[in-house]
């Protein structure tokens, strides 16, 4: 392996390949090399990319997905990855999540849980803690606000109906949708999920602020309480 990209033949250089064949032709290591821009003495940007991908594998996720689960501190342990490059890499991961969310937003429909799951999927499926969001809707089911209510442990999100409806009143919400993730990837509701959802549902009915759905995000999977008919058991 050459010490620098510039010492490589043109056909091996990621920049030239991108210009010649398009960005979609680049491998994961070549994409990372372009983002890194340069290596260090003794290691080209492609070599650094290989080290990052090897570290990624240790998280249990293949390829670039592991970047979501590597901390800045871990990245900076790689010789040649300083604070700036580590920040760039983490920001690329965040950018990809936001792009996926932005792409899903135009199709967002509060009558179709699958569109809500798509909207949150990339934002939540990589998280290692449970996050609980509340979507606040007005009387016409337009989104008036979104609030992160709880950042839980790996195993549970702790939330009370009071916390939910304090936020709902702030936004003058008429309807609510709860969304949270299961870090293990399985979106099947736990007993705790069932219990807190039932409490929120009944409290909302008393207050005139209706819980329309609770959607649990897994790894490319979701469960909608409304679709599963769980809310039918509350009436």
| pLDDT score for 1 | 46
Domain total of the chain: 2
- Let me know whether 140 and 229 are in one domain: yes
In angstroms, the first-to-last Cα distance of the chain is: 68
- Let me know whether 216 and 121 are in one domain: yes
Backbone angles phi, psi at 100, to 5 degrees: -65, -40
- Let me know whether 96 and 132 are in one domain: no
Tokens, residue 71: 């901390």
Q: Which domain holds residue 175?
A: 108-234
Comparing C-alpha atoms, which of 180, 93, 71 is closest to residue 135? 180
- Let me know whether 57 and 171 are in one domain: no
Residues in the chain predicted with pLDDT less than 50, given as ranges, are: 1-3
- Let me know whether 209 and 166 are in one domain: yes
Single residue among 78, 100, 122 that ends a domain in this structure: 100
The H or E element that residue 137 is part of is strand 131-137
Backbone angles phi, psi at 209, to 5 degrees: -120, 110
- Let me know whether 141 and 203 are in one domain: yes
| pLDDT score for 4 | 59
Comparing C-alpha atoms, which of 182, 67, 60, 179 is closest to residue 129? 182
Cα–Cα distance, 40 to 52 (Å, whole number) = 14
- Let me know whether 206 and 176 are in one domain: yes
- Let me know whether 187 and 71 are in one domain: no
């Amino acid at each position: 392996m050459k010490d620098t990209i510039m010492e490589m033949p043109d056909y091996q250089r990621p920049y030239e390949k991108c210009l010649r064949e398009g960005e979609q032709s680049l491998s994961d290591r070549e994409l990372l090399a372009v983002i890194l821009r340069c290596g260090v003495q003794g290691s080209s940007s492609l070599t650094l990319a290989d080290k990052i991908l090897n570290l990624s594998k240790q998280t249990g996720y293949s390829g670039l997905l592991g970047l979501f689960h590597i901390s800045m501190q871990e990245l900076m342990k790689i010789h040649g990855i300083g604070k700036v490059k580590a920040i760039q890499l983490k920001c690329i991961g965040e950018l990809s999540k936001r792009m996926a969310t932005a792409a899903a937003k135009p199709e967002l429909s509060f009558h179709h849980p699958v569109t809500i799951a798509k909207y949150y999927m990339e934002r939540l499926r990589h998280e290692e803690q449970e996050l609980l969001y509340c979507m606040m809707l007005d009387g016409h089911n337009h989104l008036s606000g979104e609030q992160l209510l709880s950042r839980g442990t790996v195993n549970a999100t702790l939330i009370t109906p009071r916390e939910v409806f304090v936020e709902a009143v702030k936004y003058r919400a008429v309807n609510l949708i709860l969304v949270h993730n299961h870090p293990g990837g399985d979106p099947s509701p736990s007993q705790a999920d069932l219990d807190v959802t039932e409490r929120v549902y009944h409290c909302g009915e008393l207050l005139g602020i209706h819980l329309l759905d609770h959607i649990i995000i897994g790894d490319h999977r979701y469960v909608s309480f409304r679709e599963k008919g769980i809310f039918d058991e509350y009436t």
